[in-house]
Amino acid sequence: MTQQQHSPTAVAAPIEEQDVVEFLRAQPEFFTRHADVLMEITLHHASGTAISLIERQVVNLREHNRHLKSQLHDLVQIARDNDRLSGRMHRLVLSLMDCTTLQDVFINIHDSLRNDFHADAVVMRLMAKPKVAFNEAATDAVQDVQVSREAGMPEATNGVLFVDKDDVAWDAFKGFLKNAKPMCGHLGATQMNYLFGDPASTVASAALIPLSGIPGSPSGAVQPRVPAGIVAIGSYNAEHFHHGMGTHFLSQMGEIISCAVRPYLATE
């Protein structure tokens, strides 16, 4: 083995200012090739206590550049989040396409919202009646989904419930159903208790998604679909759902779930 192989790794000598000066003199085009380096360098002009306009411009441009970088970082993060959401929505659609019964639809919706979308509570309230009544075994299958995968604790939800469209409890949701758009944030006590029952106190924020049913009575024009119910997604985190968050994906989810449930609902 050579002497060089036995010698310890050499430690690089510190760079002196004169080395930098000589390098730049030997490379007069350095800042032309690396213009971005100038954005990180502070150059002062001999202007006394005043700041020259050029120096002020450089400071402003540097600040503007940092702002643009921050915006770009935020946009990239949003794009990544949307990409992940799109993947989860895709899996939800595929799982619902394989369903052959209403019970399968409910179970897959619960599984997707709990596992992929990290919901702490999932509730469905449907105004329409099922074409085929639930049998005892199917009801048990739906209830099994309500058991938390963590620690075997009951989930803060009453699961799926078919209710009469004239039920007075719907009065608390009239504005929401008329608007037919998802909403997020903190719900009123009446709404929380109706949706989540006794465990409502553990749900700190929620998202409501309207479901649409069969079209209204034909009158020669295209009729909007009448409200068919609500999907409520609850979180133990008070900041998870808030009024300022976007609802685009929630609207898409409502359309997907409506299409999956609609074939199994009675028209009258």
Per mean pLDDT, which range of 37-46, 61-70, 81-90, 246-255 is the poorest? 37-46
For 211-227, the pLDDT digits (tens) are: 987 554 444 444 556 67
Q: What is the DSSP letter of 112?
A: I
Number of C-beta neighbours around residue 157 at 10 A:
26
For 16-52, where are the alpha helices, taking DSSP H only? 17-26, 30-33, 35-38
The average pLDDT across 164-177 equals 83
Residue 268 burial by CB count (10 A; 0-12/13-18/19+): exposed, middle or buried? exposed
Average pLDDT, the chain: 77
User: In 3-state terms, what secondary structure has residue 191?
Assistant: helix
The average pLDDT across 155-167 equals 64
The single residue listed with the structure tokens 């360098």 is 41
Share of the chain above pLDDT 90, in %: 18
User: In 3-state terms, what secondary structure has residue 184?
Assistant: strand
Question: Which tokens is 73 given?
Answer: 């970082």
Per mean pLDDT, which range of 84-93, 98-107, 162-171, 255-264 is the poorest? 162-171
d(CA 236, CA 204): 5
| Higher-scoring residue by pLDDT: 63, 160 | 63
How are the residues of the chain apportioned to helix, strand and coil, as percentages rounded to the nearest 5? 50, 15, 35
Question: CA angle 124-128-133, nearest 5°?
Answer: 85
Confidence of residue 90 (pLDDT cuts 50, 70, 90): very high
d(CA 26, CA 20): 10
| Higher-scoring residue by pLDDT: 153, 12 | 12
pLDDT over 90 at 142, yes or no: no
Number of C-beta neighbours around residue 231 at 10 A:
25
What pLDDT score was predicted for residue 268?
61
- Compute the radius of gyration of the chain from its Cα atoms: 31
| Higher-scoring residue by pLDDT: 24, 138 | 24
What pLDDT score was predicted for residue 51?
64
Question: Which tokens is 21 given?
Answer: 């000066």
Per mean pLDDT, which range of 27-36, 105-114, 119-128, 172-181 is the poorest? 27-36
pLDDT over 90 at 256, yes or no: yes
d(CA 231, CA 229): 7
User: In terms of residues, how long is the chain?
Assistant: 268
The average pLDDT across 34-63 equals 69
The sheet carrying 159-162 orders its strands as 159-162, 121-126, 225-235, 205-215, 183-185
d(CA 254, CA 176): 14
- Domains of the chain (ranges, CATH numbers): 17-98 (no CATH), 99-264 (3.30.450.40)
The average pLDDT across 105-128 equals 89
Cα 65 from chain centroid?
Answer: 29
